[in-house]
Amino acid sequence: MKIDWTHLSVHHSATKDGIELDFDNFRRYHMQDLEWRDVGYHYGVEKVGSGYEVLVGRPLTMPGAHSPGWNDRAIGLVLAGNYNLAPPPVEMLQVAIYRIIKPSMVYHDITMDRIQAHRDQQRPGYTDCPGRMFPIERLRNLI
């Protein structure tokens, strides 16, 4: 299935990012508890040991399950952590930018204004994802 990806939706897990692999827990929750086919996101970034890792979720041949109304056009990217409490580390943003966001922009012709916070794709008050302290404008400036 060929999907015309036009946007990238940035999320947070709203959980503490530990030093162990959390993405498998996201996948398990989505598949076992919610009974989805796979984790809802296409990519994730989280701290594993002393560095940040990119994790692959749903294949890009499959719509996401991360942003109602946008799942068939927005690539889903989750950053492990709760960004209602503090902004994400700059190193995490850099890994997301250089390993996921910029390549997605080039390959899928996604423009800067289409790199969006999950909350910006929903009606006001639906969600604060990727967190009240997530610097979406700073992310765009770093890109």
Residue 70 is assigned to a structural domain of this protein:
yes
From residue 40, alpha-carbon distances to 37, 49, 75, 125 in Å are 8, 24, 10, 21
The C-alpha atoms of residue 9 and residue 45 are separated, in whole angstroms, by 13
Residues 35 and 100 sit within 8 Å (Cβ to Cβ): no
Residue 1 is assigned to a structural domain of this protein:
no
Residue 2 is assigned to a structural domain of this protein:
no
Instruction: Identify the CATH number of the domain in which residue 58 sits.
Output: 3.40.80.10
Query: Global pTM?
Result: 0.93
Per-position pLDDT tens, the chain of length 143? 789 999 999 999 988 877 666 888 888 888 999 999 999 999 999 998 889 999 999 999 999 999 999 999 999 999 999 999 999 999 999 999 999 999 999 999 999 999 999 999 999 999 999 999 999 999 999 99
